Amino acid sequence: MYICSNCWNESLIWKWQCDFCKSWNTLKEFKESKEKKWVRVWEKKSLALISSPHEEESRIITTSIELNTVLWGGIVLWSVMLLSGEPGIGKSTLSLQLANWIHEEIIYISGEETLGQLRSRAKRLNIEWGNIEILTENILEDIFTSIEWKTPKVVIWDSISVLMGWEISGTGGSVSQVRYIAEKIVEYSKARNITSIIIGHVTKDGSLAGPKTLEHMVDTVLYFEGEKYDDIRMLRCLKNRFWATHELGLYKMTEEGLHDLDNPALELLSWSEWIGLALWITIEWRRALIVETEALTNYTKFWYPKRSSRGIPQSKLDLIIAVLSKYTPVKLESYDVYANISRGIKVEEPGLDLALAMSIISSKLGKTLPKSSVFIGEISLTGQIKSVMLLEKRIKEALKLGFTEIYIPHGSKEKLTASIDPKELTALKDFLHIKDIIAIL
When asked if residue 92 is in the footprint of ligand TYD (CB under 6 A), the reply is yes
Q: Tell me if 347 sits within 8 A of 320, measured CB to CB.
A: no
Smallest separation (angstroms) from ligand TYD to the CB of 147:
21
Task: Specify which residues 307 forms β-bridges with.
Answer: 337
**Residue in 253, 319, 432, 440 binding ligand TYD, rule: CB under 6 A:** 253
Q: Are strands 287-299 and 335-341 parallel, antiparallel or unpaired?
A: antiparallel
Angle, CA 285 vertex, CA 282 and CA 290 arms, to 5°? 25
Give Cα 31 to chain centroid, integer Å. 37
When asked if residue 200 is in the footprint of ligand TYD (CB under 6 A), the reply is no
Q: Tell me if 97 sits within 8 A of 123, measured CB to CB.
A: no
Smallest separation (angstroms) from ligand TYD to the CB of 231:
7
- 160 or 379: CB nearest Mg ion: 160
Return the closest-CA partner of residue 136 out of 122, 160, 157: 157
When asked if residue 88 is in the footprint of ligand TYD (CB under 6 A), the reply is yes
Smallest separation (angstroms) from Mg ion to the CB of 186:
21
Smallest separation (angstroms) from ligand TYD to the CB of 307:
33
Residues within window 97-156 making contact with ligand TYD, judged by CB under 6 A: 121, 124-125
Q: Binding-site residue total for ligand TYD (CB under 6 A)?
A: 15
239 binds, among Mg ion, ligand TYD, none (CB under 5 to 8 A by kind): none
411 conformational bin, left if phi > 0, alpha if psi -120 to 50, beta if neither: left
Count of all residues that appear for the chain in the document:
441
Smallest separation (angstroms) from ligand TYD to the CB of 255:
6
- 88 or 329: CB nearest ligand TYD: 88
Return the closest-CA partner of residue 183 out of 193, 168, 162, 203: 168
Query: Among the residues of 132-174, which ranges form H helices?
Result: 140-146
Cis peptide before 159 (omega within 30 of 0): yes
Smallest separation (angstroms) from ligand TYD to the CB of 135:
17
Q: Give the torsion sign (CA, 316, 321, 322, 328).
A: positive
Q: Is 304 exposed, middle or buried (0-12, 13-18, 19+ CB in 10 A)?
A: exposed
Amino acid at 280: W
When asked if residue 255 is in the footprint of ligand TYD (CB under 6 A), the reply is yes
**Residue in 26, 64, 79, 92 binding Mg ion, rule: CB under 5 A:** 92
Q: Give the torsion sign (CA, 359, 361, 364, 368).
A: negative
253 binds, among ligand TYD, Mg ion, none (CB under 5 to 8 A by kind): ligand TYD
| x/- letters, 16..35, toward ligand TYD (CB under 6 A) | --------------------
Which residue stretch of 92-100, 127-135, 285-293, 336-344 sits at the interface with Mg ion (rule: CB under 5 A)?
92-100
Smallest separation (angstroms) from ligand TYD to the CB of 201:
7
Q: Give the torsion sign (CA, 108, 206, 288, 344).
A: positive
Which residue stretch of 88-96, 322-330, 340-348, 378-386 sits at the interface with ligand TYD (rule: CB under 6 A)?
88-96
Per CB under 5 A, residues contacting Mg ion are: 92
- The residues of the shown chain that bind ligand TYD, judged by CB under 6 A, are 85, 87-93, 121, 124-125, 253, 255-257
